[in-house]
Structure 1
Amino acid sequence: MSDTVERPETGLFWKALLLPAALIALWAAADAAGWSNRDLFVSPLQVVQSAIAGFADGSLSGATAATLLRALAGWIIGAGAGLLVGTLIGISGLARGLFNPTINSLRQIALFAWIPLLSAWFGNGETMKITLIALGAFFPMALGAQAGCQNVPEGWREVGKVLELSRRDTLRSIILPAAMPSIVAGAELSLNVAWLGTFGAEYLIGTGYINGMGDGLGAYLAAAREYARMDQVLLGVLFLGLIGVTLDRLVIGFSRKAIPWHRH
């Protein structure tokens, strides 16, 4: 049974690599034929050499580590708060009336529009960056948790009443398991927004350090742009995409463990 499930996914994985491989081959061919502008689009070999040099001197590995730490720290804080607030709103009509209008208004504000206000409050260091990331992660998680808890079928709630479960036991045994697909979807979207927010914070505000590891991939890209290092620009973009996809796949893998009955 497991083989019949895993083989199609393996086939889809390899098929998904066909387009990136074709694009890289086309890129290499265009460079070899002299069709590309070397000032704007360097060869794949130069990007590989830049990656090797970046890992050798620690600039690329340090920037990657700093970005991952910021993204995960902000996501954990923001998604955790969103899960609590969203669950409360989803199970309480009073909380829904109190918080929903404010949350719905605040989430309409573009994430990077918060930067001037947060900079004034916290400066341009790590506190400001992680607060911005957490803010971006909060709203998708809160909305996912609220939708999941609020849309639990009434018949399932009646089961809790028949079994004379307490509110806590009803929440733990009925509402949260039923809401898990929406919660996991909110977590996935929350992580995506947190990752984008991390890059934006680092690119626009390239100050501050985590354990001396540098300003992150956003600042790495900003510096590469300033010095017209297109090999580093392309390398930074590729790393951001690869790490983002990896994080997304990790969340999907977790969701398959957490809610095996749900189709993804």
Structure 2
Amino acid sequence: MTTSTSPISRPGLIWRALVLPAALIVLWTLLDAFGALNSDILVSPGKVLVTAYEGFADGSLPGAALATLLRALTGWVIGATLGLAAGVLLGLSGVARGLFDPSISSLRQIALFAWIPLLSAWLGNGEAMKITLIAVGAFFPMALGAQAGCQNVPAPYREVGRVVELDRRAMLTKIIFPAAVPSILAGTELSLNIAWLGTFGAEYLIGTGYINGMGDGLGAYLAAAREYARMDQVLLGVLFLALIGIALDRFVLGLSRRLVPWRMP
């Protein structure tokens, strides 16, 4: 008799992923019920729900979340596009690698927030500076992923192209770029994660600013909550950052499953 094993269904995975958050919420509620919470450190779940209702009612919370999301996506698109172009160039051209790879590798070692003083001196503390900081964060992982994908195409793939006498253009479109897709997607995921972290850091550390009239973003929301010791707003802002970050990560994972299903669980 043969037995077969099947992978856990996606609904099953979702339920398993919810076990830990649900357990933490239950523990949080029980601590509040027994009066074990210190309001200066952790407020009650009911207080956070009331604050969420108020934030949605006056539009401040969705406005801040939308401003942060738009700011993150704008910087990410700019940085990832430039990174993709640079990575493809470095991956395909030995001359370009010799000229630019050492410099890019050196700049990649600089921590993202270490760019803030220099960018502030050049661009001020407005929207252009925030977007540039996010783009810098997105540039390097995308460039690295694209370069690795184009440069490390397996030799048998290239040999097939030579055997069937593909020209340069066909070699790129039919052999090199398809083989580079997994590395490019890995760079996409990492660049988006860093862009999201950079967005929060830019909003939290640099200060106020407006994008399309929608407010300062979740980073400024959390900075203000800290200044006024509003732990309910701090918890709510952190929760929104986590939920949006998870949604962006799921989007990239779904894209990867469609483009390279044979490499995805």
Secondary structure of the equivalent of 1:201?
Answer: helix
Number of residue pairs aligned between Structure 1 and Structure 2: 261
One-letter identity of the residue aligned with 1:202: E
Give the TM-score taking structure 2 as reference length: 0.95
- Residues 1-53 of structure 1 deviation map (CA, whole Å, 9 limit, x = unaligned): xxx97852321110010000000110111011111101221011111111111
Instruction: Give the corresponding residue for 2:167.
Output: 166
Which runs of 5 or more residues in structure 1 are unaligned?
Answer: none
> Any residues of structure 2 matched to 1:135-214 within 5 Å, and which?
135-214=136-215
Alpha-carbon shift at residue 207 of structure 1 (Å)? 2.0
| CA–CA distance in structure 2, aligned partners of residues 176 and 10 of structure 1 | 34
| CA–CA distance in structure 1, aligned partners of residues 225 and 167 of structure 2 | 58
Contact 2:80 2:142 survives alignment (8 Å): yes
| CA–CA distance in structure 2, aligned partners of residues 178 and 56 of structure 1 | 49
One-letter identity of the residue aligned with 2:254: G
| CA–CA distance in structure 1, aligned partners of residues 159 and 153 of structure 2 | 11
Give the TM-score taking structure 1 as reference length: 0.96
Contact 2:256 2:264 survives alignment (8 Å): no
| CA–CA distance in structure 2, aligned partners of residues 112 and 64 of structure 1 | 21
| CA–CA distance in structure 2, aligned partners of residues 5 and 100 of structure 1 | 45
One-letter identity of the residue aligned with 1:182: S
Contact 2:66 2:214 survives alignment (8 Å): yes
Which runs of 5 or more residues in structure 2 are unaligned?
Answer: none
| CA–CA distance in structure 1, aligned partners of residues 118 and 209 of structure 2 | 18
| CA–CA distance in structure 1, aligned partners of residues 169 and 114 of structure 2 | 39
> Any residues of structure 2 matched to 1:87-102 within 5 Å, and which?
87-102=88-103
Moved more, 19-28 or 204-213: 204-213
Contact 2:203 2:218 survives alignment (8 Å): yes
| CA–CA distance in structure 2, aligned partners of residues 104 and 92 of structure 1 | 16
Moved over 4 A (4+): 4-7
Instruction: Give the corresponding residue for 2:109.
Output: 108
Tell whether 2:211 aligns with 1:229. no
One-letter identity of the residue aligned with 2:34: A
Aligned-residue Cα RMSD (Å) equals: 1.3
Moved more, 30-39 or 104-113: 30-39
